[in-house]
Chain A
Amino acid sequence: MEQKWEMLSSSNEDREKIWSRSRTFAGDVWFRFRHKPTALAGLVLIAVLMAFAFFGPLFTKYDYAEQNLTVVNIPPRMTVYDAPDGNGYLTITQNLKLLRVDQDGRLGEQLSRVRDDDARSMTIFDCGGTEVGLYYGKTPYKVCNPDKLTVYHHRTIWNRSYLLGTDALGRDILTRLMYGTRVSLMVAFVAAFVNMIVGIVYGGISGYVGGMTDQIMMRIVDVISTIPLTLYVILIMVIMGSGLQSIIVALGSVYWVDMARVVRGQVLSLKNQEFVVAARTIGSSTRTILFQHLIPNAMGSILVTVTMLIPSAIFMEAFLGFLGIGLQPPLASLGTMCNDATENLRTSPYQLFIPALVIVLIMFGFNFVGDGLRDALDPKLKK
């Protein structure tokens, strides 16, 4: 360019043009959200867990209620002994039987018992014509040659039939975990949704009407929030009986208190802002003011509260399940699975660890997402 300093002709179009790319508020929030690693990790975690819970059951050949008493309490990682007939391995079940396991780790049929040898604390089984002894005189129990009294070579391998093992009724833990996660997530989502609606309506009315109505409504909330929620939920459960519906009702009728407070606070601060005053001078209806001005502007805080509410609902559901007043068997939830596991905690700790781990992951996921959302919605952090 030769004449660097010459004036360019400019039209009104150019002067008023906005050169930046158009970004909606949601686009803005998403931009900030995805630049936060923990938030993104939380989101991915939740997505994976949801896929696991909702699509997982398509890929398993077991049913969550199907019992198989020959394979009770088989852990995901088994100790196996070489079978004397060279046909795979043998593993000891909890009710002192021997099970065939093939080279890959798939469980086979149970060996038939020949006789008890009480004198030597042994049970003798027939393994393809050879007699093998199960020595139960001392833990850990061993598989041995009853004649030479030598323990067969042993090793640990992964359980390929039941990837996460089986529970005390021989049900596949992986399958139950999928259904359990599904139930827990569903309970939490429905409860969170109900809470959100109740909270928005209650808090919205309280904040928008203001005055005496607000005072009374908020005192009621204060009273409710002094009752320990756990106690309250347990009472509802006891009165309504256990089952999916009562859990949803119980959780749905409790957590709206926080939501109502958040919404009321938001509405209270928003309703005197200039754009709401402007809507009133325009002559917009209360409906328009509520649904176009107040709630969309409060939506950020509402969403954050909801994502923070979901883990509490999941935790409360698990807690109820653990206490045994949650779902009815054979339905599984993460809490009831933990509860079932306590019976065999010493011998089969994996039965507790696995559902507990999933609870932890869900809580992590939602808390990370909630945190990320809150930061992304904070206009002070605008980049």
Chain B
Amino acid sequence: MDSSTRIQHLLEVSNLTKYFDAGRGRKVHAVEHVSFAVDEGMTFGLVGESGCGKSSCARTIIRIYEPTEGTILFEGKDVSHLSQRILQPLRRDMQMIFQDPYASLNARMTVRDIIAEPLLAHHVVKKREEANEIVFRMLERVGLTREHANRYAHEFSGGQRQRVGIARALVLQPKLVICDEPISALDVSIQAQVVNLLREYQDESGIAYLFIAHDLSMVRYVSDAVGVMYLGELVETAETDELYRNPLHPYTRGLLNSIPVANPKLARQRNQSGIEGDIPSPIDPPAGCRFHTRCPYAKPICAEETPLLKNQGNGHLCACHLYD
């Protein structure tokens, strides 16, 4: 495929690797050789257990962290090694919603100032007062009222705070929003509200999401395509329907089995309950297939050779020796 015929994705991540220094010469292998793409107006779901490197991946993409290796193409432009100064105007089109609605809002700022901050940073408005109309509209858009504008974040409930965080991410009308587990800190009753808000906004504006979650149930509902991460690596990726209909990787199957099912008959039919064992340390991950310490189908080769992501048809990629 030469570059002229290549379809341009909104975001294309290839071979992304991020190591953290863990002291004494050791490294945390937080993200390794991750590749995926997000198209305009689409949602890519990234799933994996806690600690598998989802946030690190997101933060490297949005360049809070320097990538150790790999490229990040945003609208065809390589942003992986741009300086923060050159990156600044590009940030307008790529925003982030954070996992923790408490820690991600400054307690000393009113909601008005929080939502106006991106507008001021990108010179959409010159003075804080000019931002008022936009801020009010945005507040109403996320289901809050203009009376909330003068309140401080600590006066809000978790769900309300997260909506303030969403308003802050959307106020610049970016092309891509990285949602780093936007609902995992919220009550179940509020989760659907927030997800629906994000979906409605997508229908209206054609925004793209990189939606991160640690269980597959919510991701199915929001994503067009899903990637499954295990210990820093992408082990399987496919269109949402394909992945849920035909999960290939043993880890994905384990994750799917751990989704609670409302029907008790169906629940009993399941052969096993999720995945056994603990996630190994990312400081020195297992050799070969990283999942072999917990995989029920592990073969001798699994401990020696790293399986590569291979196309199993229908654009369904899976890294497992079972499908060699």
| Residues of A that sit less than 8 Å from B by CB | 12-13, 16-18, 20, 22-25, 273-275, 277-285, 288, 292-293, 296-297
Contact = CB atoms under 8 A, between A and B. Distances in A.
Given A13-B145, A16-B144, A25 B91 contact: no
Contacts of A273: 103
Nearest to B107: A25
A13 B147 CA distance: 10
A67 B148 CA distance: 65
B148 A282 contact: no
Contacts of A283: 87-89, 91-92, 118, 121-122
A16 B145 contact: yes
A211 B143 CA distance: 43
A275 B118 CA distance: 13
B96 A296 contact: no
Interface of B: 59, 62, 64, 87-89, 91-92, 95-96, 98-100, 103-109, 113, 117-118, 120-122, 143-145, 147-148, 150-152, 154-156, 160, 165, 168
A23 B154 CA distance: 10
A16 B160 contact: yes
Contacts of A277: 59, 64, 98, 104
A326 B221 CA distance: 76
Contacts of A293: 106
B54 to A, nearest CB: 15
Nearest to A276: B106
5 A-B pairs with least C-beta separation: A283-B91, A274-B103, A274-B104, A296-B108, A275-B106
Contacts of B59: 277
Contact of B155 (A18, A279, A282, A292): A18
B252 to A, nearest CB: 30
B100 A274 contact: yes
Given A273-B103, A283-B122, A284-B121, A25 B64 contact: no
A281 B62 contact: yes
Q: Which of A13, A279, A296 has the most CB of B within 10 A?
A: A279
A129 to B, nearest CB: 79
Contacts of A297: 106-108
Contact of A278 (B87, B152, B155, B168): B168
Contacts of B168: 278, 282
Contacts, number: 87
15 contacts: A13-B145, A16-B160, A17-B145, A24-B152, A25-B152, A278-B168, A279-B106, A283-B88, A283-B91, A283-B92, A292-B109, A292-B117, A293-B106, A296-B108, A297-B107
A23 B59 CA distance: 34
B151 to A, nearest CB: 6
Q: Which of A12, A16, A17, A25 has the most CB of B within 10 A?
A: A16
B145 A280 contact: no
A17 B145 CA distance: 8
A369 B230 CA distance: 53
Contact of B98 (A18, A25, A274): A274
B148 A16 contact: yes
A278 B160 contact: no
A275 B122 CA distance: 18
Nearest to A22: B151
B103 A12 contact: no
A12 B154 CA distance: 21
B117 A279 contact: yes
Contacts of B108: 25, 296-297
Given A274-B103, A283-B91, A16 B118 contact: no
A320 B100 CA distance: 52
A12 B140 CA distance: 11
A293 to B, nearest CB: 6
A281 B103 contact: no
B91 A282 contact: yes
Contacts of B117: 279, 282, 284, 288, 292
B96 A12 contact: no
B64 A281 contact: yes
Nearest to A286: B84
B109 A281 contact: no
Contacts of A281: 62, 64, 91, 95-96
Given A25-B108, A274-B104, A297-B108, A18 B148 contact: yes
A98 to B, nearest CB: 68
